Amino acid sequence: MKDTILHRVRTALARSAGAAPDAAPDARIRIPEYQPERLVEMFSVALAALTGKTYEVGSPAAARGKIEELISGKTAVASPSPLLRDWGITGLPGVRSGFADARALREAAAAADFGITVAEYGLAETGTLVMMASAEESRLVSLLPPVHIAILQRERLLTGLDEFYARFPLPGEHTSATVFITGPSRTADIEMLLVRGVHGPGAIHVIVV
């Protein structure tokens, strides 16, 4: 019976026994093209559906002002990103940055009200932040404090995963870890009750500049 079935398959494919299969065709991915304004709109809508908030501002000064407003009277830990330093964000009242060792960073992030980072990319279709770990972007800052504030530069908004992997087919060659953050942390594992903030921040604010 097996030989009969295989013979029928080979006959239908015009192949003989033992012949190597045809090579797989080249993968073709069509990435939709959108205007930058449309990408921002898509990202904002997708993140809002996940209870995250997006703020669109026009300058580094406006971004710094929005962060100062969000963290007013509270504490924050910021990644040692040159962008955050150059924009004056690491110098805001209540913000700590530039820790000497991992233990000090971990203790500060655990005690802080906010974690401030720069997202490497954003995925408009799903409202996802792409965080690529480096000496300038520790995962602790985006995962440990209860509220995550991320700066996302407008030109780093991509359509979705297809476009990201078209640019970085092997992300491990560029970073030790790539984290995709889609909305605040949430789980319904326990009795099907939705709980936020279990595995990471319970709130996310994204400032698109």
CA–CA separation, 38 and 46 (whole Å): 12
Q: Report the chain's mean pLDDT, rounded to a whole number.
A: 89
32-208 CATH: 3.40.50.10420
By the 8 A CB rule, do 177 and 119 touch?
no
Classify the phi-psi angles of 76: left when phi > 0, otherwise alpha if psi is within -120 to 50, otherwise beta.
beta
CA–CA separation, 5 and 97 (whole Å): 67
What residue spans define the domains of the chain?
32-208
What is the per-residue pLDDT for 194? 52
The model carries a pTM of 0.82
Residue 192 sits at φ, ψ, to 5 deg, of 60, 25
**What are the tokens at 66?**
């929005």
By the 8 A CB rule, do 196 and 45 touch?
no
- Of residues 112, 119, 70, 116, the one with CA closest to residue 90: 116
CB atoms within 10 A of CB 209: 21
What digits encode the pLDDT tens for the residues 157-185? Answer: 999 999 999 999 888 888 888 999 998 86
What is the per-residue pLDDT for 138? 83
The one-letter amino acid code at 10 reads R
Adjacency order of strands within the sheet including 157-158: 157-158, 121-123, 128-132, 178-182
* Cα 29-34-38 angle, rounded to 5 deg: 140
By the 8 A CB rule, do 159 and 46 touch?
no
What residue has token string 């009200």? 113
What digits encode the pLDDT tens for the residues 54-93? Answer: 999 999 999 999 999 999 999 999 999 999 999 999 999 9
What digits encode the pLDDT tens for the residues 91-132? Answer: 999 999 999 888 999 999 999 999 999 999 999 999 999 999
